[in-house]
């Protein structure tokens, strides 16, 4: 017991001495109260300069390191590839469309990861799947996906919220019987139905961001996904959901008008009447 007590006392003395030593060293570096203030200001200024330098390096990397010879593999439709193509156009990323159709899809499908499109082919021949992963990738080079972790979190939140709504539509998208499809959609948009509730909650999230865009005052890839949902409703593509349904959500109607005015949506093909559901 005496030995243990002695050891504890020794440790306490040593810890106290270290604290005094650290304080003396710190005071030696900072000096007087005025010196402390000047030094802290210098540290803060250095930290700010460092942060700005890192930001500049990231932007420079995104400009100089943009993907080259990018191929986007998808059908001759908008679908899941539309926001990817738009992000490339906004960011000045050169790409080519490699179209698949009903004639060659069965031959192409086994070579696609998960047997789905869209996919991209990188300059080294790598094939990468999953539409949102691809969109984040090109978004980083197009200044449409933030490097700040919190801002990126908000973008991802909105994207995942959009995906939840698309999952509600999926059974009706896969339904081949038109009458059944329309009936399913009409059920979805009733006052207390899931799709109506989801769209209401999505608009509340949009409003909370306090800006003209999905996550605030800067356009991101979340806006490119949102405008696709708005587009499908306003054009009447979703049979059973009236084209004027979006008027119930004025924030989205205004957002749609602003986004559709951009030239990044111009594509080198005509939109066919029916879309293929084989999407990532």
Residue 24's alpha-carbon distances to 17, 20, 27, in angstroms, are 11, 6, 5
pLDDT of residue 154: 97
* The pLDDT value given to residue 19: 54
Cis geometry, peptide bond prior to residue 223 (ω within 30 degrees of 0): no
Average of per-residue pLDDT values in the chain: 83
> Can you tell me the distance from the alpha carbon of 198 to that of 214, in angstroms, rounded to the nearest whole number?
15
Residue 3's pLDDT band (boundaries 50, 70, 90)?
A: very low
**Could you give the angle at which helices 149-174 and 221-234 cross, rounded to 10 degrees?**
30
> 61 or 207, which is more confident?
207
The predicted model gives 142-161 an average pLDDT of 97
Cβ contact 95:88 at 8 Å: yes
The residues, any chain, with a CB within 8 Å of residue 183's CB and separated by 6 or more, are: 240
The one-character DSSP state at 213 is B
Query: pLDDT at position 263, please?
Result: 86
- Report the pLDDT averaged over residues 246-269: 89
Phi, psi of 71 (to 5 degrees): -115, 130
Largest interatomic CA distance in the chain: 90
Reported as a single tens digit per residue, the pLDDT across 194-236 is: 999 999 999 999 999 988 999 999 999 999 999 999 999 999 9
| Listed residue (164, 152, 134) closest to 72, CA to CA | 134
Q: What is the pLDDT of residue 251?
A: 96
Looking at the chain, how many residues does it have? 280
Q: Rounded distance, CA 241 to CA 190, Å?
A: 10
CA distances from residue 145 to 139, 223, 224, 225 in whole angstroms, order as listed:
5, 11, 11, 13
Q: What are phi and psi of 268, to 5 degrees?
A: -95, 45
The Cα–Cα gap between 38 and 22 comes to 20
Residue 267 banded pLDDT, cuts 50, 70, 90:
confident
Which segments of 22-114 are extended strands (E)?
70-75, 95-100
| pLDDT of 272 strictly over 50 | no
pLDDT at 257 over 80: yes
Give the Cβ contact number of residue 250 at 10 Å: 10
For residue 266, name the pLDDT band (cuts at 50, 70, 90).
confident
């Amino acid at each position: 017991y005496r030995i243990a007590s002695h050891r504890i006392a020794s440790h306490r003395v040593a810890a106290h001495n270290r604290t005094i030593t650290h304080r003396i060293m710190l005071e030696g570096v900072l000096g007087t109260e005025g010196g402390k203030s000047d030094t802290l200001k210098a540290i803060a200024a250095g930290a700010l300069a460092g942060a700005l330098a890192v930001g500049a390096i990231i932007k420079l990397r995104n400009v100089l390191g943009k993907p080259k010879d990018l191929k986007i593999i998808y059908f001759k439709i908008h679908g899941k590839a539309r926001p990817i193509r738009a992000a490339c156009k906004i960011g000045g990323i050169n790409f080519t469309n490699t179209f698949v159709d009903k004639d060659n899809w069965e031959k192409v499908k086994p070579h696609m990861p998960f047997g789905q499109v869209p996919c991209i082919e990188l300059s080294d021949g790598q094939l990468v799947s999953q539409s949102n992963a691809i969109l984040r990738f090109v978004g980083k080079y197009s200044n449409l996906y933030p490097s700040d972790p919190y801002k990126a979190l908000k973008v991802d939140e909105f994207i995942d919220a959009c995906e939840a709504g698309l999952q509600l539509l999926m059974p009706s998208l896969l339904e081949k019987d038109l009458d059944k499809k329309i009936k399913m959609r009409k059920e979805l948009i009733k006052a207390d139905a899931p799709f109506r509730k989801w769209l209401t909650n999505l608009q509340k999230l949009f409003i909370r961001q306090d800006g003209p865009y999905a996550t605030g005052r800067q356009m991101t890839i979340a806006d490119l996904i949102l405008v696709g949902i708005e587009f499908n409703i306003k054009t009447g593509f979703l049979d059973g959901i009236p084209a004027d349904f979006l008027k119930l959500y004025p924030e989205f109607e205004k957002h749609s008008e602003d986004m559709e005015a951009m030239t990044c949506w111009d594509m080198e093909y005509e939109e066919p009447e029916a879309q293929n559901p084989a999407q990532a």
